[in-house]
Structure 1
Amino acid sequence: MLIQLSRDIGDYLYDVFVAKFDLWLVFGIVAQVLFAMRFVVQWLASEKEGRSVIPMAFWFFSMAGGLLTLIYGLVKREPIIIIGQVLSVFIYVRNLQLILKERREAKAERQKVS
């Protein structure tokens, strides 16, 4: 039974990563790596500060990874990926807009004071 399970897992991994290999698989992997990098960036920034922080790079990796993953889902016709990413991309863009607006306002306020 254990030998059969091992073969089944091996066959599955071969089917997913070798038999179905194409440039879209590479694209999807790159998209997923970019998306995952946001967690690495957030974790490292939090460790450096000694508290939980969300750096600007988190939102850029979120946007890039989410957008590429959405494109991958659209091309591969994967409804779960499309549903999962379509709203998320807009949220990432909006967060970047809010951060940039806040920074512009803070800069303008500092210039008034000086």
Structure 2
Amino acid sequence: MTIEWLWLGVGFLGQALFSARFLIQWLASERARRSIVPHAFWLFSLAGGITLLAYALYRRDPVFIAGQGAGLFIYTRNLVLIRREVRLSRARQ
């Protein structure tokens, strides 16, 4: 197996993780019968974004790198906000 095939696999894995987040969001919204964004959406966003960023860095694609890098900040920030909300909720109980 050449390094190109390995990185192609990394790219497809990242895309699969990134795409799975939409399926997760859709199923959670259908279950709740309203639009919601579950915690797993942000986890899959982060995992897919990191994997795709690694692939973009390997490919040396500045457009792809900038897009994934900016997204990682947003996904991480949302996870931090969720964690803070959970901690505050537990402290109030």
Interval of TM-score (by shorter of Structure 1 and Structure 2): over 0.9
Deviation at residue 72 of structure 1 after TM alignment: 0.5
* Aligned-partner Cα distance in 2 for 1:34–1:93: 16
Where does residue 23 of structure 2 map in the other structure? 40
2:46 is equivalent to residue 66 of structure 1: no
Deviation at residue 64 of structure 1 after TM alignment: 0.3
- Higher RCO, 1 vs 2 (CA within 8 Å, ≥6 residues apart): 2
* Aligned-partner Cα distance in 1 for 2:28–2:43: 14
* Aligned-partner Cα distance in 1 for 2:24–2:31: 11
Q: Which runs of 5+ in 1 are unaligned?
A: 1-20
Greater Rg, structure 1 or structure 2? 1
Deviation at residue 81 of structure 1 after TM alignment: 1.0
Deviation at residue 66 of structure 1 after TM alignment: 0.5
* Aligned-partner Cα distance in 2 for 1:60–1:106: 21
Three-state SS of the structure 2 residue aligned to 1:54 is coil
2:89 is equivalent to residue 84 of structure 1: no
- State the TM-score, normalized to the length of structure 2: 0.93
Identity %: 50
Amino acid at match of 1:77: R
* Aligned-partner Cα distance in 2 for 1:41–1:87: 22
Matches within 5 A, 1:2-81: 22-81=5-64
Could you list the runs of 4 or more consecutive aligned residues of structure 1 that deviate by over 3 angstroms after TM superposition?
none
Q: What is the number of residues matched between the two proteins?
A: 90
Q: Deviation digits for residues 28-82 of structure 1, max 9, x if unmatched?
A: 0000000001000000000000000000000000000001101110011112210
Amino acid at match of 2:48: G
